Amino acid sequence: MKLQDKSAIITGAASGIGKGIAQTFAREGAKVAIADLNLDSANATAAEICAHGGKAIGVAMDVTNEEAVNAGVSAVVEAFGGVDILVSNAGIQIVHPLEDFSYADWKKMLAIHLDGAFLTTKACLPYMYKSGRGGSVIYMGSVHSKEASMLKAPYVTAKHGLIGLAKVVAKEGAKYGVHANVICPGFVRTPLVDKQIPEQALALGISEAEVIKNVMLKETVDGEFTTLEDVAEATLFFAAFPSNALTGQSLVVSHGWFME
C-alpha cells in the first residue's frame, strides 16, 4: 500500500473527482478526511469508504471561510494525529461571456478556487512542517491551467493561478520535505461537467451532443472523457512520491487534449 498510515485531507471530496481520490487513497492505506460544504454527503462518502474497510471521516468545511478551514483542519489533526497530504480540490464552474460575467460571480469563482487553495494550504503547512515527515500538497488544476476556453474567464484565471501557488509552496516547503504539484485533468463526467453541457449548448446555440463532441472532447486524441480513476491514479502518484525531486510540477491527464 502506497499511503499506509498517511493522513489526507481532500476538499470537495463528497462528490466527483475528490470522492474518487478519497476512495483510491483509502484503498492505499491512508486515513482520509472528506472535507466538503455538504456535511451529510461528506459523512455518507466517509461511511461508504469505512464499509469497504477504509478509514475516513466527514468534515464540514467551506474552503472560502478561514475559520471553517482552520477548524476543519484542527479536527482532522485531532482525529488522525496529523496531516501528511492535502488535496485542494473543491471547485465549481460558472460560464458566461466576459461582458456578461457579474463581478459577484467572478469573485465567487476566485474565492473557491484560489482563496480555498490558499487557506487550506496555510492551515495544513504548519502541521506538515512540525511533523518531521514532510508532506504533499496537490492542487486540482485543469487543462484550463494551461489553455483557455471561451466563457470561462475566472475558471481559466484561477486554474492558471494554482500553478503559481504550487511553485511557491514547492520552494518554501522544500526544506521541510513538503512537495507541491498540480493535476490538470481534461473533461471528467462529474456533476460539475453534467451541469455545463446544457449551459454551454444554450450559450453557444448548439446541441448538447455537439458540446461534447465539438467543444469538450474536440482536441483529444480519441474523443474520450478522462475518468475518475485516471485522475485518482495521477494524484496518488504525486501523493506517494517520496522526495523533493518531484515538486512544483503540473501533470496533464486529458487524452492528449493539451500536450506540453
Minimum distance from residue 16 beta carbon to ligand NAD (Å): 2
Residues within window 206-235 making contact with ligand NAD, judged by CB under 6 A? none
Q: Which of 25, 80, 127, 187 binds ligand NAD (CB under 6 A)?
A: 187
Smallest separation (angstroms) from ligand NAD to the CB of 208: 15
CA distance linking residue 98 with residue 55, whole number of Å: 44
Catalytic entry in 103, 127, 139, 155: 155
Q: Which of 2, 27, 29, 38 binds ligand NAD (CB under 6 A)?
A: 38
Tell which positions 93-152 bind ligand NAD, by CB under 6 A: 112, 140, 142
| Residue (85 or 131) nearer to ligand NAD, CB | 85
Q: In what order do the strands lie in the sheet with 85-88?
A: 55-60, 31-36, 7-11, 85-88, 135-140, 178-185, 249-253
Closest CB to ligand NAD among 227 and 244? 227
Taking residues 55 to 94 in sequence order and writing x for each that binds ligand NAD by CB under 6 A, - otherwise, the string is ------xxxx------------------------xxxx--
Task: Give the one residue of 9, 10, 11, 26 binding ligand NAD; rule: CB under 6 A.
Answer: 11
Q: How many residues contact ligand NAD, by CB under 6 A? A: 28
- Provide, rounded to whole angstroms, the least separation between the CB of residue 156 and ligand NAD: 11
> In degrees to the nearest 10, what's the CA dihedral of 21, 24, 27, 30?
-40
Using the minimum distance from each CB to ligand NAD, give the nearer residue, 15 or 24: 15
**Does 236 contact ligand NAD by CB under 6 A?**
no
- Do 74 and 50 form a contact (C-beta atoms < 8 A)? no
Specify the long-range contacts of residues 103-109, CB closer than 8 Å, at least 24 apart.
105/154, 106/153, 106/154, 109/154, 109/155, 109/158
Q: To the nearest whole angstrom, how small is the minimum distance from the Cβ of residue 254 to ligand NAD?
A: 8
**Taking CB under 6 A as the rule, does residue 33 contact ligand NAD?**
no
The reply to whether 155 belongs to the active site is yes
Judged by beta carbon, residue 131 or residue 254, the one nearer ligand NAD is 254
Binding site for ligand NAD (CB under 6 A): 11-12, 14-18, 36-38, 61-64, 89-92, 112, 140, 142, 185, 187-188, 190-193
Catalytic residues: 155
